[in-house]
Amino acid sequence: MSQFAINLIFVGASFALYFGIAIWARAGSTKEFYVAGGGVHPVANGMATAADWMSAASFISMAGLLSAGYVNSSFLMGWTGGYVLLAMLLAPYLRKFGKFTVPDFIGDRFYSRGARLVAVICLIVASVTYVIGQMAGAGVAFARFLEVSNTAGIWIAAGVVFFYAVFGGMKGITYTQVAQYVVLIVAYTIPAVFISLQLTGNPLPMFGMFGDYTAEGAANAVPLLEKLDLVVRDLGFRDYTADVDNKLNMLLFTLSLMIGTAGLPHVIIRFFTVPKVADARWSAGWALIFIALLYLTAPAVGSMARLNLIKTVYPAGVEQDALLYADRPEWVKTWEETGLVKYEDKNADGRIQMYNDKAGSAEADAFAATAEARGWNGNELVVNNDILVLANPEIAQLPGWVIGLIAAGGIAAALSTAAGLLLAISSAISHDLIKTMINPNISEKGELTAARISMGVAILVATYLGLNPPGFAAQTVALAFGIAGASIFPALMMGIFSKRVNNKGAVAGMVAGLTATLVYIFTFLGWFFIPGTATLANTPDNWILGISPLSFGAIGAMINFAVAFAVSYMTDEPPVEIQELVESVRYPKGAGAAVDH
């Protein structure tokens, strides 16, 4: 059977499963549409949260990021540490509050239409920027594995999401996400186990990574990471495990990712779907276990794939001649067609020299003389890190069905996150804008219809943006985390842990935190990301105290807290009924079912 047919069977079977679930889990009321009826088991919600959270970026790009070495550990700690904050600082109290959306809480707690509107805008901007990447990621996965055009791939993805999100709402999305989690985690771990076995003899990648590299015989066994340090050093790269110099920036970047994770609305609303406050606490723990299964494996995939790649290019060792281009393996040819692997024979010797030739880095400068002595004329192989996971089974020569599984897994990761984001967007529009701010007299049925129409429109907008991605798609992820961390997270936390912060303080804090973060990001990445409009070049020398624009969300959050408290203490206390509302969210008793309203 051809690889194409195998891929088609795996992807087709997973779609059939999603459609089946969608038909079974139709939403009949707004409560089912927004919070899946509030009756989701905490373990099931944990799984759905994990699929909701782990996007195309986690599935496809994470291992590639980690293959750069220790420096990108921030992503691992940041994207998991946020769940500790969620479990203790937000999820149980927001579940007790018992309404449907994040702006619902901000609007009620700060008794202000302005606060609600700011929250809705932040939510929509953060979620829309995030969803562009998901649609584009699904398009890439379809194009590579199902041999359709990128455009057709995005339309297929949109059609599938439309089917189960518009009809099933949160209920359909929840149970599809549970299935998608299973598909994506199986797809991620199986190739990782095989590769770990090949390189280290240990079936558990997280242990294999810290075990001995045994692929060259037990007599030559050395610790895998030591081996990796050695071969990358011999090619002029920085040691894989090398420490970073700018610890302040790494710390702030990790902190920004953590509070951004805790403040992303599509994750928070997942905790509205469990029956009780106690379940919300358990559910956060289950979510992190399911997420950790992938995130503990990812560093092993990254390090082993990098070692495998170097071994492919230098089959006799890095001191010996590189591979002849004519002898390149099949997977290099496949990926060359997509443009994600590029070869240029700069010294015209027919071999593939891959090394660090980036002038300016200390390691590359020190290596330049060695490279010249070996007759090398620049790095000849450029590999896009995003292919590491997708090409992993081919690099390790695994059977065809594993590749089919990866195809289904990558698509599941993109679709599940897209659906969660689209629900957050559509519920903010139909519930917060239409029902609460524009037409409070709308009937239950009318609101449900409005929710479905908003969902349909949101999918069309996301599809359009996926087809015509703005040139700044990559930078916008920083924007999404910056907005969530600097505006939504502090507002929610102060709403729960302070009775003194009032409407004026909250609005001033959100606007100040958001503005400071946006100005800092735009200064270095271009105003509204328009190329060429950056005020200062995006280099570490220009950053204030060495803080990169991606790390600024944490500073934005601190500004938010400071301004909110200062303004609140200069103005009136919140009314008594608001202070009672704060009291009531702190105690679990009487949370009951999500309040219909």
Partner 1 sequence: MADDKSKAAHYWSTNLRLIMGSLVVWAFVSYGCGILFRPLLSGIAVGGADLGFWFAQQGAILTFIVIIFFYAWRMNKLDKEMGLEE
Strands of 176-253, DSSP E: 212-213, 222-223
How near is the Cβ of 208 to partner 1 at its closest, in Å? Answer: 9
Among 210, 401, 464, 565, binds partner 1 (CB under 8 A): 210
How near is the Cβ of 32 to partner 1 at its closest, in Å? Answer: 21
- φ, ψ dihedrals at 343, nearest 5°: -125, 135
Q: If binding is defined by CB under 8 A, does position 218 make contact with partner 1?
A: no
- 466 or 490, CB closer to partner 1? 490
From CA 296, how far away is CA 291, in angstroms rounded?
9
Q: If binding is defined by CB under 8 A, does position 76 make contact with partner 1?
A: yes
Q: What is the 3-state secondary structure (H, E, C) of 54-111?
A: CCHHHHHHHHHHHCCCHHHHHHHHHHHHHHHHHHHHHHHHHHHHCCCCHHHHHHHHCC
Q: Which of residues 250-309 bind partner 1 (CB under 8 A)?
A: 250-251, 254-255, 276-278, 281-282, 284-285, 288-289, 292, 295-296, 299
Among the residue ranges 75-83, 395-403, 419-427, 539-547, the one whose residues contact partner 1 (CB under 8 A): 75-83
**Angle made by CA atoms 368, 309, 364, in degrees to the nearest 5:** 15
How near is the Cβ of 237 to partner 1 at its closest, in Å? Answer: 16
Under DSSP, the state recorded for 381 is: E
Among the residue ranges 87-95, 347-355, 509-517, 555-563, the one whose residues contact partner 1 (CB under 8 A): 87-95
Among the residue ranges 88-96, 422-430, 431-439, 455-463, the one whose residues contact partner 1 (CB under 8 A): 88-96
3-state SS class at 222: strand
How near is the Cβ of 591 to partner 1 at its closest, in Å? Answer: 6
> Hey, what are 165's tokens?
């999100």
- 389 or 450, CB closer to partner 1? 389
Please check whether residue 334 is in contact with residue 390, taking contact to mean a CB–CB distance below 8 angstroms.
Answer: no
**Angle made by CA atoms 110, 115, 117, in degrees to the nearest 5:** 145
3-state SS class at 343: strand
How near is the Cβ of 596 to partner 1 at its closest, in Å? Answer: 17
- 245 or 336, CB closer to partner 1? 245
- 340 or 493, CB closer to partner 1? 493
For 394, other C-beta atoms within 10 Å of its C-beta total 21
3-state SS class at 482: helix
Tell me the per-residue interface mask from 576 to 595 with partner 1, x by CB under 8 A, - otherwise.
-------x--xxxxxxx---
- 288 or 388, CB closer to partner 1? 288
Task: Kindly determine how many residues on this chain lie close enough to bind partner 1 according to the rule CB under 8 A.
Answer: 54
How near is the Cβ of 408 to partner 1 at its closest, in Å? Answer: 26
Residue type, 166: V
Please check whether residue 228 is in contact with residue 307, taking contact to mean a CB–CB distance below 8 angstroms.
Answer: yes
- 160 or 225, CB closer to partner 1? 225
Among 1, 16, 88, 366, binds partner 1 (CB under 8 A): 88
How near is the Cβ of 228 to partner 1 at its closest, in Å? Answer: 8
Strands of 17-70, DSSP E: none
From CA 552, how far away is CA 65, in angstroms rounded?
20
Q: If binding is defined by CB under 8 A, does position 80 make contact with partner 1?
A: yes
User: What length is written for the chain?
Assistant: 597
**Burial group, residue 397, by CB count within 10 angstroms (0-12, 13-18, 19+):** exposed
Among the residue ranges 82-90, 135-143, 161-169, 405-413, the one whose residues contact partner 1 (CB under 8 A): 82-90
Q: If binding is defined by CB under 8 A, does position 222 make contact with partner 1?
A: yes
Q: If binding is defined by CB under 8 A, does position 204 make contact with partner 1?
A: no
From CA 449, how far away is CA 430, in angstroms rounded?
9
From CA 66, how far away is CA 300, in angstroms rounded?
9
3-state SS class at 411: helix
From CA 202, how far away is CA 324, in angstroms rounded?
32
Binding residues (CB under 8 A) for partner 1: these are 66, 70, 73, 76-77, 80-81, 83-84, 87-89, 92, 206, 209-212, 222-229, 241, 243, 247, 250-251, 254-255, 276-278, 281-282, 284-285, 288-289, 292, 295-296, 299, 583, 586-592
